[in-house]
Amino acid sequence: MTLIGTLHLTTHQLIFRHPQEEMWILYPTIHTVERRPLASNGLWPLLIKCRDFVFVTISVPSEREAIDVFESIQKLTCIKGSIEQLYAFFYKPPSLTANDGWHIYDPLVEFDRMGVGSKTRAWRISYKNKSYELCPTYPRILVVPDKILDSVLTHACKFRSKCRIPTLSYLHWSNMASITRSSQPMVGLKQNRSLQDEKIIEAIFQSTALPPTPSGQPVYGSTATNLIIDARPTANAMANVAMGAGTENMDNYKNCSKQYMGIDNIHVMRESLGKLVEVIQNADVQGLPIKKHHLDKSNWLKHISSLLESSLVIIKNIHVNSSHVLIHCSDGWDRTAQLTSISELCLDPYYRTLRGFEVLIEKDWLSFGHKFSDRSGHLSNERYFITSSTNAANNAFNSMQNKLKQSHVREISPVFHQFLDCVFQILAQYPERFEFNEHFLVTLHFHLYSCQYGTFLFNSEKERNDYKVMTSTYSVWDYINSNKEQFLNPSYDYGARDREEMGDKGVLFPESDWKKLKYWASLFDKRDEELNGEEMVEEASPIMARSLWGSDSPVQRSSSPIGISNGIPWNDEQSQTITSRISKNLNLDIEDPWRDNNTHENDELIYDEPVKSLHHKESSNELNAMVQNFARITLNLGVQAVSNVANILDAASGNLNNNTNDNSNDFDPQSSLENHESRSGLREMVSFSNKTNSITNSPPSKSNPFSSLKSWNTLSASIGFPTTSLKSRENKRNTFPTSEIADSATTTPPISPRTEPHPLFLYDS
């Protein structure tokens, strides 16, 4: 199917317009743009990979135009200077019914709800950090033990990394057991200690008395089991000692014990997600089903399992043992945020409501200084814009240059993504205990990278106040709460199970065995059975080459003698059997969006199997050689130029078919292509513009981003992306909500008719 449209580059979005639909890509969601060499179809492809797992290919007719588009996207994506140039500072949404997004979380109200100052007098509010002088990455309002004076906090902060002292995050409603958080202690090789730090932790662990024991009834928690949770692997914690940090010397801390949770660092998590995405993308490119055991090699579910298992330790110690938990990792803003928020989500039913979950994110992620901008890569880097070449030496040189620029990339990691994945796992296990649905989580993941709202901008509460985010941007919670009906869970029981006398009293104990967890299919725009279905033993198929032909092919055909579209075999009456497995077997060392390509020890190379024929060995051997050679060239240079393979298969098999009595007219190539489109979700698009080649240097209008359009003279481009993103009205992750961009799309360059478009059939990357 060919769609004629226009490609626009505005100040903040890439827009592809055609009569049926619009496709919007916000520049901050772009991770990688790769400009590849001339394809066999005569076009110059640009591969765009997005952080929300959208992959598209744009092809233009000339190298000059390809360079022009490539460099323009690079300049618009890689913002140099102030973060105030991001879209959130210009975006003006339509009228929103909710307008209290910036005031969803009030620390005084939230800690009062927990019981600080009412149910217990063991804690107090401290304003020592009101001007962020004590700790610039902490919130202004801190809750500390009532026995601890502000002067003690001043001395104790020097002993904790980034001055992140132990402070209250959560008080449990049933027993006043606490979850506190901090960063690692600065122990070092000299085994330093801080009497003030020890005094704070001792006061935390003595903040509640043990519950009385009813006569004749055993009660959990009769013996305190206060825990210091070090989220890191033991080896990592010990290695930090050489850098002047480390972990607590338990000889100095009384009435508690310490446990290491073994959660890997941000670099391991980034590598794991990269491998997961690579498996899914390669399967899409090859048109093959996704193998679950290949997904398992990424260890992604094992990392999710580690987070859930660690949270279970905290949940049981708080609720069952009525004891306190202090959590930290290295700096206390990644793994610490994950464990505190997951544990609180399971302990308190309030956080499983829509508003309560918003409060949870504001409290444990935003106010306590998770580095959203750094971890999400909001300010992109030029190293993500890659120019590939047919020259292997040039590619090696470019790859080496990219690897020398690691500082920006090493900060990026899917930390908040993992938290949302854990919430998805718990939601799947307890579907009636959450007010919000899965679509809510997917929407949050998208806006984590979109920079459309100011909620997830910057790295701390202080930075958001310095840049006046609350007055200059809109909150994502206003958008969520204005469209609340989209994000509500129809299965929610409104706390009925929480009130049952013999129930769990609102505390959830999620399954943590990684073999029983699920891959989050909808986040990758997949069906659940595609990622989590049972694997079937493959049987020999008449056609295993997942090849397609495009109408741009030089070979003219009214019909094809072989049903190769989407791997569909010949008619059962046909006597020939041709089997071939064409797989990716070259590593071009081009970095994928979520993966460091420094190590490939787990990569699996799948080698080509020979093409076989039951009756015509000579022709089959010739066909085999042609397919083997061409497959390595076309399928591994980075473009899905499968029409070339199809031409070879078509021409060679045509000779075979002349020796048979089968009727080739039984195969309908058009219906086969339609079937392929419906099954693999691929669509073909051709865009062009007859505008003059100029770019406006004037500042963009907030109401009309087209004031900064970049257009190209007779630019012909093709773009492929999943059909489901266009057809589905329920999932608009890949298509910008019309209501949100109406003010930005009031002016559109006219679409010029084209007499002889170049129809293409391209894979989405």
d(CA 124, CA 578) in angstroms, rounded, equals 76
At the topology level of CATH, where does 4-83+682-744 sit? PH-domain like (2.30.29)
Q: How many residues does the chain have?
A: 765
> How far apart, in Å, are the Cα atoms of 151 and each of 156, 205, 368, 659?
9, 20, 21, 94
502, containing H or E segment: none
* pLDDT, position 43: 87
Q: What residue ranges of the chain are covered by domains with CATH 2.30.29.30? A: 4-83+682-744
Positions in the chain short of pLDDT 70: 1-5, 209-223, 390-408, 501-503, 535-765
d(CA 131, CA 108) in angstroms, rounded, equals 17
Q: Is the dihedral of CA 456, 461, 462, 467 positive or negative?
A: positive
Residues annotated within the binding site are: 265-266, 329-335
The answer to whether residues 700 and 744 touch, using CB atoms and an 8 Å cutoff, is: no
* pLDDT, position 210: 52
Residues annotated within the binding site for substrate are: 265-266, 329-335
Q: What positions carry a catalytic annotation?
A: 329
* pLDDT, position 417: 98
Q: 3-state SS string over 173-200?
A: CCCCCEEEECCCECCCCCCCCCHHHHHH
Report the chain's terminal Cα–Cα distance, integer Å.
18
Q: 3-state SS string over 199-255?
A: HHHHHHHCCCCCCCCCCCCCCCCCCCCCEEEECCCHHHHHHHHHHCCCCCCHHHCCC
* pLDDT, position 651: 43
Q: Cα 402–407–408 angle (5° rounding)?
A: 85
pTM over 0.75: no
- Residue 358's nearest CA partner among 701, 103, 90 is 103
Residue 720 phi/psi, 5° resolution? -120, 135
* pLDDT, position 26: 95
Q: Provide DSSP, 584-601.
A: ------PPPTT--TT--T
Residue with tokens 């606490």: 178
Residue with tokens 């132990």: 166
d(CA 721, CA 715) in angstroms, rounded, equals 19
The answer to whether residues 46 and 764 touch, using CB atoms and an 8 Å cutoff, is: no
Amino acid letter for position 278: E
* pLDDT, position 209: 58
Strand partners, 125: 143
Q: Provide DSSP, 122-174.
A: SEEEE-TTTTS-S-TTS-S-EEEETT--HHHHHHHGGGBGGG---EEEEE-TT
* pLDDT, position 223: 62
Q: Rounded to 10 degrees, what is the CA torsion of 497, 498, 504, 505?
A: -160
d(CA 541, CA 611) in angstroms, rounded, equals 12
Residue 689 phi/psi, 5° resolution? -145, 140
The answer to whether residues 176 and 230 touch, using CB atoms and an 8 Å cutoff, is: no
Q: At what angle do helices 300-319 and 415-429 cross, to 10 degrees?
A: 70
Q: How far is CA 230 from the centre of its chain?
A: 26
* pLDDT, position 56: 87
